[in-house]
Copies of this chain bind each other. A is one copy, B any other.
Amino acid sequence: MEMSARATRAKAAVDVVTTFFAKIQSAADDPDALDFTFGNPHEFALPGLTDALRAQVEPQSVDWFAYKTSEPAAQQAVATGLRTEVGLPFEPEDIAMTQGAFGAISLALALLADAGDEVVIPVPGWFCYEPMLHAADLVPVRAALDPGTFDLDVDAIARALTPRTRVVIVNSPANPTGRVYPEATWRALAEVLDDASARNGRRIWLLSDEPYRRIRFDGIEFASPATAYPWTIIDYSYGKVLLAPGQRLGYLALSPLIPAAEREELREALMPIGLAIGWGFPDAVMQYSVPALEHVSIDMAELTRKRDRLYSALVDAGVEVTRPEGTFYLWGRAPGGDAQAFCDALAERGIHLMPGTLFDQPHHFRISLTATMETVERALPALVEVAAEWGAAR
Contact = CB atoms under 8 A, between A and B. Distances in A.
* 8 nearest CB pairs, A to B: A246-B284, A106-B278, A65-B244, A135-B276, A102-B279, A10-B276, A131-B276, A53-B57
A137 B44 CA distance: 42
Contacts of A99: 99, 248, 278-280
A49 interface: yes
Contact of A44 (B57, B59, B247, B286): B59
Contact of A272 (B10, B49, B286): B10
Of listed A13, A110, A243, residue having the most chain B CB within 10 A: A110
Contacts of A273: 7, 10-11, 135
A11 B59 CA distance: 32
Interface stretch (A79-87, A208-216, A261-269, A315-323): A261-269
Contacts of A285: 53, 247, 285
Contacts of A64: 41, 44-45, 246
B1 A265 contact: yes
A87 B43 CA distance: 43
Interface stretch (A112-120, A180-188, A329-337, A385-393): A112-120
A128 interface: yes
Contacts of A63: 40-42
A142 interface: no
A269 B3 contact: yes
Nearest to A49: B65
A131 B66 CA distance: 21
Interface of A: 1-7, 10-11, 13-15, 18, 38, 40-45, 49-50, 53-54, 57-59, 62-68, 99-100, 102-103, 105-107, 110-115, 117, 128, 131-132, 134-135, 137, 203, 205, 242-248, 262, 265-266, 268-269, 271-273, 275-280, 283-286
Contacts of A262: 2
Nearest to A244: B65
A200 B10 CA distance: 26
Nearest to A53: B57
A15 B278 contact: no
A276 B65 contact: no
